[in-house]
């Protein structure tokens, strides 16, 4: 009921009606047209109130944030469905075509850092020094 929820969250019932009118909340209704708030509705209301009270987001901003959140949840569901599909495909292909254990292993190549030896470092130092001098032994300016 709207009065109980309004009292519980210390907001005016008109605020709840506004949130419903703007499409931010969608409580179900009884045959007598009384609003019934589910646990999900109350979690959503808490999120809305946090945005409004703590972050100062206006109703238009809240609507955009809620839409983006719903899209992200849908994309997450789609991605999870894709991962499940790929996993099942891999398992079915692996079971249908048994291979040698070695053939299933794919070596990873990691770049190996090349560290010049002391001799190479000395050669580089000598080459730089020689490049800095003219043919008669004087430094270039």
What is the residue extent of each domain of the chain?
2-96
**Residue 29: in which H helix or E strand, if any?**
strand 28-29
Within 8 A by CB and 6+ apart from 50, the residues are none
* Token representation of residue 54: 């703590």
Per-residue pLDDT band at 108 (split at 50, 70, 90):
low
Q: Measured at the alpha carbon of residue 41, what is the angle toward residues 81 and 82, in degrees to the nearest 5?
A: 5
Query: If one looks up domain 2-96 in CATH, what number appears?
Result: 1.10.1660.10
Q: For residue range 32-90, list pLDDT tens digits in order.
A: 989 999 999 999 999 999 999 999 999 999 999 999 999 999 999 999 999 999 999 88
For residues 31 and 89, give the distance between their C-alpha atoms in angstroms, rounded to a whole number.
48
* Whole-structure pTM value: 0.60
């Amino acid at each position: 009921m709207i009065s109980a929820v309004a009292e519980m969250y210390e907001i005016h019932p008109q605020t709840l009606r506004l949130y419903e009118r703007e499409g931010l909340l969608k409580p179900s209704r009884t045959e007598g047209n009384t609003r019934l708030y589910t646990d999900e509705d109350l979690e959503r209301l808490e999120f809305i109130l946090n945005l409004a009270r703590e972050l100062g987001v206006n109703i238009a901003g809240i609507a955009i944030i809620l839409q983006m959140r719903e899209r992200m949840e849908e994309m997450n569901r789609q991605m999870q469905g894709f991962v499940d599909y790929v996993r099942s495909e891999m398992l079915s292909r692996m079971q249908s075509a048994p291979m040698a254990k070695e053939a299933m292993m794919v070596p990873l190549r990691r770049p190996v850092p090349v560290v010049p030896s002391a001799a190479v470092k000395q050669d580089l130092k000598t080459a730089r020094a020689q490049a800095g001098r003219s043919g008669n032994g004087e430094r270039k300016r």
